[in-house]
Amino acid sequence: MDASLRWHDELMTGLPILSILLAVPLIGGGACLFVSANAARWIALAATLLDLLLGIWLWSAFEIGGPQWQFVEYQKMAFSPFAWALGIDGIALMLTMLSLFLMPICILASWTTIERRVPEYMAAFLAMETMMIGVFMAQDIFLFYIFFEAGLIPMFLIIGIWGGAERIYASYKFFLYTLLGSVLMLVAMLWMVNFTHGDTYIPHLLATNFPPEAQTWLWLAFFASFAVKMPMWPVHTWLPDAHVQAPTAGSVILAGVLLKLGGYGFVRFSLPMFPEASAQLVWIIFGLSLVAIVYTSLVALVQRDMKKLIAYSSVAHMAFVTIGLFTFNRQGIEGALIMMLSHGLVSGALFLCVGVVYDRLHTREIDRYGGLSNNMPAYALLFMLFTMASVGLPGTSGFVGEFLSLVGAYRASSLVAFVATSGIILGAAYMLYLYWRVAFGTSRNADAAAMPDLNPRELVSLGAIAAVVLWMGVYPESFLAPMRGDVGTLIARVERAAPPGDSGLVRTAHAGKREGAR
Amino acid sequence: MLDSLRLTLPELVLSTAALVLLMIPAYVGDRSAKLVTWLAITALAAAAIAIPGYWGPPRSGFGGLFVSDGFATFAKVTIYAGAAVSLIAAMGWFGRDRDYRAEYPILILLSSVGMGMMVSASDLLTLYVGLELQSLAAYVLASFQRQDNRSAEAGLKYFVLGALASGILLYGISLLYGFTGTTLFGDIAHAIGAQKASAAGLSHGTLFGLVFVLAGIAFKVSAVPFHMWTPDVYEGAPTPVTAFFASAPKVAAMALLTRFTVQAAGPATFEWRQIIVFMALASTLLGGVAAIGQPNIKRLLAYSSINNVGFALVGVAAGTAAGVASVLFYMAVYLVMTLGSFLVVLRMRDAEGRPVETIASLAGLSRSRPGLAVAMAAFMFSLAGVPPMLGFWPKFYVFNAAVATNLTWLAAVAIATSVISAYYYLKIVKIMYFDDPAPAYAPTRDVAQSVLIAAAALAVSPIGYYLIVGPLALASANAAGALF
């Protein structure tokens, strides 16, 4: 049929590696349900580690500069509205790796803190892993939707059963917000598939030129879904609640991977499928993102709850991602992608840091801590590294992402770049303020001063993330190289609609409109 | 004549079985109730086998009054399966209170005869007779526990409002007959087409006739604004009867509505579509909002059925072959989910064995009865339409049909209201999984019911997708093809 399908024929002689990656956690999760608590922990750890090893093999086998879609599997199912179509490009590969890397750490973080219903917990987590990496691998639009939505059920249960005091409110809010966003996306998908007379294969849809009038509506429907997942201001309010109430590992997965589904959706669908509408409506993205950067940063400054502070900082950081993605130039998009990876690692690590002290003192209130560098030096060191990475200090992964996306933003609109840069200063303010209150000063509280330093389990988890954060900060090329070709493809696709460069926000929007009408 | 009779073979089997089975309790008394029930289930299975319309083109008999085609076959198989399951449910439930009587299976059989006629009707009078036969049996069933005030009240309420709806329906039939000169579906369609082609356009009398007939049928499917009886009757009727009401008759009435709109009123699609669209949106919205505050599980499921009917009506509004197929698909999956939920509700009895109906009593079910809680959670997520549960697919097909007929806005609004209903389905999961346990239910040892619950839970799970969606989609598409 076309190149990608021939590629598939060659590879079907080999292993269906992507299906195996999906199956391992699912089988492990099923097995967890029938064993004791301790056995469930070990099974979950083994399954996630095995998946990580397979993922590392996948990364090494990925041919940089090769075909856009690799490891393609295509299995038409009889009388089914969708096909079992899997395949990854560089962007999907990196995000899959991020999920695979964070999962064993999440299992370790839940090792002792989860005491009730351990087998069910591990099963929910492993099911979650399958759904998340399935989103990145799906090459059929309805298969994508199924994975995208199915993750709601395990996350709802994780927050609702093992969460904090306000867990029920938070779990409802999480479920209903994200459901409302994605059902509209389903209608848009149905419309698109009807437009192409039943073709659900994403690479084909990527090559389809949808009429510009329809693009606006389709773009808005997809936007409703991805903006909630992202989350963008003003539909971000589910995030602080969900984060604060979820168990530590749940927060890590939420911040680390689930938020990336929104960004991935923008890259995979909104931009390449509706370039005209993207250009025309870029002012919505820029406007909301700028509000988010300034507003949520200010909100983060006054938080008393550590998890809430980091949750608001996530909203601000994801706003950099949306700005970068919609700059229509290489720096911006690559920066946004690195930012997504970096934020996944850094905010995940920060939530783990909160989890470490929460396990000891059972409070997330910042005032109850202080002077932790005295009695927990290793913890203070790692916490500082992640704080710096979150601020965007050169040498850490955060710098690469923020710098590239700001360069991209400056080329698109200097005004946007100007306002967005203020977010970096605010980000430094709230993160340093947090770190100062928690780690420095004299030990104000006796019980906080008596806390022991990191145990080996925590050290391994945080150390592993720290190593990758530094790696990505010092040599980002390892992570950029697989994605470079895909960013090029994306830019070639959206170029015809790209709004003209450095100009005021208003003129950008107008130019986009003219372009769209043409 | 013999050819015509052959088309009604399933109805003949069921009627004969009902009359013969009536003789057994006349001699033996209510001791024979269990035996009669199993015989009735056998009769339903025999009737399903005897359906002549599995293969071949549509055949009609009795001068066009009665038709046997793929559409009727699909609906009948679904209906008979639903009736059989509700018989198994009733046997165990009434049996515990020792007030199970042999009339029950016989009434279900007679009701099934009526439902079979409804879905095979290609004439307004067959339609009416089938509908009344089904309804009369249902009125008696609603008041089956005659010592119980609530049951008697439910029966009376159902009867009075049902009679009103029949009156409306008959009035519509007479108007249609008066202004088109026929009661045959095909001829009505010709007459409407001719009227629309004429300079005067569709006559007001015909239009009013259509409106009244649709209103009468809407009462039977309990679409808003003709839904008022549903919560009260569902709450008052004995639970197995409610399970029956929510399943097979809904399928029959929905199939009847679909056949009428397509075969009789097809040329007037533009006119009736507005009515169906309004009923669809009103049903999904009211079925979602009104259920939120319900403390009684049966009332909640009543609103849930209104909600689901609204979604199925979206498929009717499409008015295309894909739309009809999606309605059939929807009702078949709905039957599985609803019967599954009601089978769980039948298990709700307090320590003394009295039935409980409060949602609060489900609290902490995941710890006292983990298996039951998993099954109920599967039904709830499925009813909410979250993929990868089976309940996602009927919504998928219905909205796909709507989008394909340029009713994208209807699909968008309806799907947005589905989020409202997701709230109360989630509430049940929340109560079972997040709340502290309430007193445990009395243990039950009903193997047949347990098997059915497990089978239904498996069917709505992602595993069921592979077994069900493909064949069911194919069968419903073939069945829908019979109408066009």
| pLDDT above 90 as % of chain A | 17
Q: What is the pLDDT of residue B97?
A: 66
Cα-based distances in Å from B184 to A268, A315, A359, B64 = 54, 64, 75, 7
Residues from chain A that touch B471, judged by Cβ atoms under 8 A, are: 79
- Test mutation, A141, A153, A197, chain B, max B CBs within 10 A: A153
> The dihedral of CA A291, A340, A182, A30: what is its sign?
negative
Contact B387 A146 (CB under 8 A): yes
Report CB contact under 8 Å: A171, B430.
yes
pLDDT band at A413 (very low <50, low <70, confident <90, very high): confident
User: Which tens digit of pLDDT belongs to each residue from B165-199?
Assistant: 999 999 999 999 999 999 999 999 999 999 988 88
Q: Does B432 touch chain A (CB under 8 A)?
A: no
Rounded to the nearest integer, the mean pLDDT of chain B is: 89
Q: How far is A138 from chain B (nearest CA, A)?
A: 14
Closest Cα in chain B, distance from residue A479 (Å): 33
What's the average model confidence in pLDDT over B435-441?
80
CA-based nearest distance B47→chain A, Å: 28
**A180 and B CB contact within 8 Å:** yes
Has residue B20 got a pLDDT over 90? yes
C-alpha distance from B387 to closest chain A C-alpha (Å)? 5
Q: Do A190 and B399 touch (CB under 8 A)?
A: yes
Q: Across chain A, what does the average pLDDT equal? A: 85
> Within an 8 Å CB–CB cutoff, is residue A179 touching chain B?
yes
Rounded-to-integer distance, Cα A501 and Cα A11, Å: 42
Each residue's pLDDT tens digit, B131-163: 999 999 999 999 888 888 888 889 999 999 999
Is the predicted pLDDT of residue B467 greater than 80, yes or no? no
Q: Which two three-digit tokens encode residue A44? A: 């979950």
Q: Is A291 on the interface with B (CB under 8 A)?
A: no
pLDDT at residue A509 above 70?
no
A56 lies within 8 A of chain B by CB: no
- pLDDT surpassing 50 at residue A518: no
Q: Summarize the confidence of residues B22-39 as an average pLDDT.
A: 87
Residues of B in contact with A171 (CB under 8 A): 430, 434
- Count, residues in chain B: 484
3-state SS record for chain B:
CHHHHHHCHHHHHHHHHHHHHHHHHHHHCHHHHHHHHHHHHHHHHHHHHHCHHHCCCCEEEHHHCEEECHHHHHHHHHHHHHHHHHHHHHHHHHHHHCCCCCHHHHHHHHHHHHHHHHHHECEHHHHHHHHHHHHHHHHHHHCCCCCCHHHHHHHHHHHHHHHHHHHHHHHHHHHHHHHHCCCEHHHHHHHHHHHHHCCCCCCHHHHHHHHHHHHHHHHHHCCCCCCCHHHHHHHHCCHHHHHHHHCHHHHHHHHHHHHHHHHHCHHHHHHHHHHHHHHHHHHHHHHHHCCCCCCEHHHHHHHHHHHHHHHHHHHHHHCCHHHHHHHHHHHHHHHHHHHHHHHHHHCCECCCCCECCEHHHHCCHHHHCHHHHHHHHHHHHHHHCCCCCCCHHHHHHHHHHHHHCCCHHHHHHHHHHHHHHHHHHHHHHHHHHCCCCCCCCCCCCCHHHHHHHHHHHHHHCHHHHHHHHHHHHHHHHHHHHCCC
Question: What is the helix (H) or strand (E) element at residue A29, kind and residue range?
Answer: helix A17-32
Query: What mean pLDDT do residues A232-254 have?
Result: 86
A33 chain-B contacts, CB cut-off 8 A:
none
Question: With an 8 Å Cβ cutoff, is A171 touching chain B?
Answer: yes
Among B381, B419, B469, beta carbon nearest to A183:
B419
Segment B204-216, tens digit of pLDDT: 989 999 999 999 9
pLDDT at B14 over 90: yes
- What is the per-residue pLDDT for A502? 62
Contacts of A78 in chain B (CB under 8 A): 470
Q: Model pTM?
A: 0.89
Average pLDDT value for residue range B112-131:
93
pLDDT value at A51 more than 60: yes
Sorting pLDDT into bands at 50, 70 and 90, what band is B242? very high
Q: Is B405 on the interface with A (CB under 8 A)?
A: no
pLDDT, tens digit, for every residue of B412-429?
899 888 888 888 898 888
Task: Indicate the Cα dihedral angle B128, B130, B135, B136, nearest 10°.
Answer: 100
**Per-residue tokens: A338:** 């690195």
Which residues of B are less than 8 Å from A184 in CB distance? 412, 415-416
Residue A6 has a pLDDT of 47
pLDDT given for residue B211 in this prediction: 93
The ipTM is 0.86
pLDDT (0 to 100) of residue B473: 86
Tell me what pLDDT residue B175 has.
Answer: 93
Specify whether the CB–CB gap between A280 and A216 falls below 8 A: yes
| pLDDT of residue A4 exceeding 60 | no
Count of CB pairs separated by less than 8 Å, A with B? 83
For residues B10-31, give the mean pLDDT: 90
* Minimal C-alpha gap between A173 and chain B (Å): 10
Q: What is the CA radius of gyration of chain B?
A: 21
- Tokens 């009075």 appear where? B160
pLDDT at A9 over 70: no
Chain B CB contacts of A167 below 8 Å = 434
Token pair of A321, please? 């991602």
Q: Return the residue of B nearest to A221 by Cα.
A: B412
CB A396: neighbour CB atoms within 10 A?
25
Q: What are phi and psi of A73, to 5 degrees?
A: -125, 140
pLDDT of residue A2: 47
pLDDT > 70: what percent of chain B? Answer: 99
Rounded Cα gap, residues B421 and B86, in angstroms: 25
